[in-house]
Structure 1
């Protein structure tokens, strides 16, 4: 048995750094990922495809782990960094984007949007109880990531 949990997040932040500097950091997936909390491993699969293996949550046989892969695309002139899911990698399907706009020499506005579908090996009866917990955890991770990015500049 398995349950699938869908998550959608949108964030708007101002990062205290110049456009080129912020874009270059976010387009560099390993560097950007280093600011994302609870990443156990980021595996470079080649061709700008990365598999994210998050830390396990829980205890022993009752632990769950999110694993997914995405292919990244960046267009500096358009201010867009996007990622699309890679099928057959892990238990998650994640897509999203950053949209960046300059707000002067030393501030860049960043719009972050992502959707995720995580399939977890749990009985369907647990979906109502587990879904809010997983969504809360994911929101917390993204909020910490945003704060870490601000501190990087």
Structure 2
């Protein structure tokens, strides 16, 4: 049996680094991914498509692993890096993007992230697993934003 867990996160922050540096880091998917916690492997599938494989987490006798793939599209002129889910790769469908705004002495960053994770756990555990998975996903994404902020010289 499987359960579906929906995630919907949004962040808005400003960093000291210039827009060129921020765009260069965030549009280089392996570099951007290196700041995300608990990524076991990032697999380059070609054609701007990457599969994210996270470390397995154990909950009682269950071990869960999140795996998803996304196709990336970057547009320097618009200050956007977007990703769309690739069906049939793993147990998640994640989409979202970065929107960067040049503030002359800083860069405003907006991150939006939505998706669905399908996890192989008994339905009886849905009430326990769903909030746990959402919380863990949010904590890891919070840490990603914190790591990137630090990389860019901190928030303004």
TM-score, scaled relative to structure 1: 0.96
Match of 1:35, SS state, is coil
- Bigger shift: 38-47 or 116-125? 116-125
Superposed structure 1 runs of 4+ greater than 6 Å apart: none
Separation in 1, partners of 2:93, 2:32: 19
| Aligned counterpart, 1:103 | 103
Q: How far apart, CA to CA, are the structure 2 residues paired with 1:116 and 1:20?
A: 28
Query: 1:90, 1:53 → 2: CA distance?
Result: 8
**Aligned partner of residue 104 in structure 1, secondary structure:** coil
Q: CA deviation at 1:111?
A: 0.3
User: TM-score, with normalisation over the residues of structure 2?
Assistant: 0.94
Alignment-derived partner of residue 112 in structure 2: 113
**DSSP 3-state at the match of 1:150:** helix
> Aligned-pair RMSD on alpha carbons?
1.2
Q: Shift of residue 150 of structure 1?
A: 1.1
Other-structure match for 2:35: 35
1:117-132 correspondence to structure 2 within 5 Å: 117-132=116-131
After superposition, give the CA deviation of every residue in 1:9-47 in whole Å (9 maximum; x if it has no partner).
Answer: 000111220001101100000000000000000000000
Question: Residues 60 and 129 of structure 1: is their aligned pair in 2 closer, same or farther, counting only changes over 3 Å?
Answer: closer
Unaligned runs of 5+ in 1: none
CA distance in 1, matches of 2:44, 2:61: 28
